[in-house]
Amino acid sequence: MTTKSILCVGTGSPGLPADWEVVRAATLADARRHLTSTPCAVGLLLVQPEDSCDSLHALLREHGARHGTRWIAVLPPAALAQPAWRQLVHELCDDYHTWPLDHQRLRHALGHALGMAALCGDDDASPRATGAKQAAGVGDDAMLTGTSVAITRLRRQIAKVAKASAPVLIWGESGSGKELAAQAVHAHSPRRKGPFVPINCGAIPAQLIQSELFGHERGAFTGAARDKRGLIETAQGGSIFLDEIGDLPMELQANLLRFLQEKTIYRVGGTRSITVDARVIAASHVNLAQAVQRGAFREDLYYRLNVLALDVPPLRERRDDLMPLAAHFFHTFASERAPRVRGFSSTAAQAIRAHHWPGNVRELINRVRRAMVMAEGRLILPADLGLQAAAAPAPLALDDARIRAERDAIDASLLRAGRNITLAARDLGVSRMTLYRLLAKHGMAAPSRASYTDGQSE
Ligand SMILES: Nc1ncnc2c1ncn2[C@@H]1O[C@H](COP(=O)(O)OP(=O)(O)OP(=O)(O)O)[C@@H](O)[C@H]1O
């Protein structure tokens, strides 16, 4: 039998049955000590009125997203009226409950969180297994939203790549999430406490890029009034993200190659070699192998960079991510939305699924933000997104049509309900258990973030 292990931080009784292995940490110092030595899959935060939101926020940041612990908070109802607590729950918890506890509902939520932790790659969701996972650099599924096979595979690859120290080359269309993938590599790597320094090689004017990247010595050129560290030096102990590496001028490609081989740089006008310990993560939306063939990119640099390669698939190849991403951005930009706008209509959901998304996730963000401001009704329509209503679908067999209609109805009502299972179930006229069953049947991710709460609506 799998032991259901859980770390309870704070005071109060969660009322869990005997088959749950409960580790108690009455203070934050105890919790931090425990999490550092034995990371856990699921943590329960028992918040009392006198607790400090800032300290808990720090603990969850440290031992949440990056370390793979799924947090569920139990709060005094009054805390939910305070923006700081609401932000903590929204950003860092999978679910929340309020005192006095409904023990049965909490047990269900904890079981669900353990199950989700297991699905995210552990063979066993026990703390020990999660600890091993953490040591391997696996953990954060919070940064890259999505449930498709493609994004799940990418997350797994990122976890593997993160623990190595070789350069990483990320390929993907513009706006597909290359920088986010680079951040995830850094966040899962042993360098995570060091800086992540992003540089867009295509955006810095050619005459400035050498001194921006490598720094300069005083007097190196007109206007160089004092010594200046370059961006590579500022990434000491961390990672440097070179976006649009294909735009790096040829002469600087040689300098970068030297840095990759020797871990040293020379500032412009300098004769002293400076050792820099920074991992290079490069990205390109053009095919660098072809650029090498055209003579536009150094072959030796290409092979140096292309040790660990990641492909970020375009959004049109991971359509299952569309609605989770749309919902994610709807909640991210909630403060900008017109107050009456409650979510997406089912026709909007269909139009989102039908669109080709040439601008990838960035295009989705822009369309959702625009629609949240411009929509005139309670629900966002295709026109608010600047999309055509999807054409009438090709005739389907009755069974397929039923399945698709059921799936669309679930999607639309989850979005309307702000991913709140209770409200969505009420909207659909089914019980919460039935809705969970339907989600499983359709292979849809059950709400697992704060915005996907199974708790009381506010
Ligand atoms: N899976 C995702 N989950 C959440 N946000 C995402 C995801 N993928 C991309 N984004 C967001 O989409 C936007 C574009 O992503 P990003 O900047 O990483 O793309 P890019 O491929 O580096 O683009 P470019 O090639 O233009 O530099 C960012 O705001 C990013 O946070």
Co-location of 354 and 432 in the same domain: no
Say yes or no: CB of residue 281 within 6 Å of ligand 1. no
Name the residue at shortest CA distance from atom 13 of ligand 1: 362
- Ligand 1: which atom is nearest the Cα of residue 328? 4
Q: Rounded CA gap, 191 and 62, in Å?
A: 14
- Asked which of 83, 101, 120 is the last residue of a domain, the reply is 120
CA 305–ligand 1 middle distance (angstroms): 21
Residue 5 has pLDDT above 70, yes or no: yes
The pLDDT of 313-326, averaged and rounded, is 92
121 within ligand 1 shell (Cβ under 6 A): no
* Span 263-276, average pLDDT: 92
**How many CB atoms lie under 10 A from the CB of residue 387?**
18
370 and 285 in one domain?
A: no
- Ligand 1 centroid–CA 391 distance in Å is 28
What's the CATH number where 363 sits?
A: 1.10.8.60
How confident is the model at residue 226, as a pLDDT?
A: 83
Ligand 1 pocket, residue 183 CB under 6 Å: no
Tokens at 416, concatenated: 């309307």
For the Cβ of 184 lying below 6 angstroms from any atom of ligand 1, the answer is no
Q: How far is the CA of 161 from the centre of ligand 1 (A)?
A: 19
| The predicted structure's pLDDT at residue 306 | 93
Tens of pLDDT along 167-190? 999 999 999 999 999 999 999 999
> In ligand 1, which atom is closest to the CA atom of 145?
3
Q: What is the pTM of this model?
A: 0.61
Specify whether 216 is located in the same domain as 347.
no
Closest CA to 347 of 401, 383, 373: 383
Look at ligand 1, atom 29, and give the residue with the nearest C-alpha: 362
Q: How far apart are CA 230 and CA 79, in angstroms?
A: 45
**Residue entry with tokens 């603990």:** 59
The pLDDT of residue 134 is 31
Å from CA of 361 to ligand 1 middle: 6
356 and 208 assigned to the same domain: no
Domain check: are 307 and 193 in the same one? yes
Q: What spatial distance separates the first Cα and last Cα of the chain, rounded to whole Å?
A: 38
Per-residue 3-state assignment (H helix, E strand, C coil) for 190-241: CCCCCCEEEEECCCCCHHHHHHHHHEECCCCCCCCCCCEECHHHHCCCCEEE
User: Does residue 191 sit within a domain?
Assistant: yes
The atom number, within ligand 1, closest to the CA of 285 reads 25
Query: Both 260 and 320 in a single domain?
Result: no
The answer to whether position 245 is within a domain reads yes
Cα 272-276-280 angle, rounded to 5 deg: 130
Q: How far is ligand 1, taken at its centre, from the CA of residue 11, in Å? A: 40
**Which of 311, 332, 352 delimits the end of a domain?**
311
- Contact 142/309 with Cβ under 8 angstroms? no
In a domain, 226, yes or no: yes
Report CA(144)–ligand 1 centroid distance (Å): 9
Domain-embedded: residue 31? yes
Ligand 1 centroid – CA 86 distance (Å): 26
Q: Is 139 in the pocket of ligand 1 (CB under 6 A)?
A: no
Is the dihedral angle over the CA atoms 357, 362, 367, 368 positive or is it negative?
A: positive
Same domain (yes/no): 250, 274: yes
* Total domains in the fold of the chain: 4
Per mean pLDDT, which range of 38-47, 110-119, 223-232 is the poorest? Answer: 110-119
Question: Which residue's alpha carbon is at the smallest distance from atom 31 of ligand 1?
Answer: 180
Instruction: Answer whether 175 contacts ligand 1 (Cβ < 6 A).
Output: yes
Same structural domain for residues 97 and 56? Answer: yes
Checking if the pLDDT of 133 tops 60, the result is: no
> Could you read off the pLDDT of 80-110 as tens digits, one per residue?
888 888 878 877 787 889 888 888 888 888 8
CATH classification of the domain holding 161: 3.40.50.300
- Residue 396's pLDDT band, with cuts at 50, 70 and 90, is low
pLDDT in tens, 237-267: 999 999 999 999 888 999 999 999 999 999 9
Whether 146 is in the pocket of ligand 1, judged by its Cβ within 6 Å, is yes
Same domain, 300 and 375: no
- Rounded CA separation 375/336 (Å): 12
What is the CATH number for 96? Answer: 3.40.50.2300
- The ligand 1 atom nearest the CA atom of 181: 18
Pair (109, 225) in one structural domain = no
Distance CA 54, CA 226 (A): 40
Closest ligand 1 atom to the C-alpha of 179? 18
* 32 is a domain residue: yes
Residue 345 lies in a domain: yes
pLDDT digits (tens, 9 = 90+) for 291-309: 999 999 999 999 999 999 9
Is the CB of residue 285 below 6 angstroms from any atom belonging to ligand 1? yes
User: Given ligand 1 and candidates 310, 362, 369, which is best to mutate, with the most ligand atoms within 8 Å of its CB?
Assistant: 362
Ligand 1 atom closest to Cα of residue 312: 21
Could you tell me the distance, in angstroms and rounded to a whole number, from the CA of residue 179 to the centre of ligand 1?
6
Query: What is the torsional sign of CA 167, 144, 6, 58?
Result: positive
Residue 326 beta carbon below 6 angstroms from any ligand 1 atom: no
Provide the CB-side half-sphere exposure for 250 (13 A, CA): 8
Does residue 163 form part of some domain?
A: yes
* 153 shares a domain with 87: no
Within a domain: 392: no
In a mutational test of the pocket of ligand 1, which residue from 243, 361, 367, 368 has the highest number of ligand atoms less than 8 Å from its CB?
A: 361
Containing structural domain, residue 172? 149-311
pLDDT of residue 138: 29
The Cα angle at residue 293 between residues 177 and 201, in degrees rounded to 5: 40
Q: What's the complex ipTM?
A: 0.98
Q: Are residues 369 and 436 in the same domain?
A: no
Which residue among 311, 338, 356 closes a domain? 311
Tell me how far the alpha carbon of residue 333 lies from the centroid of ligand 1, in angstroms: 15
Nearest CA residue ID for atom 16, ligand 1: 177
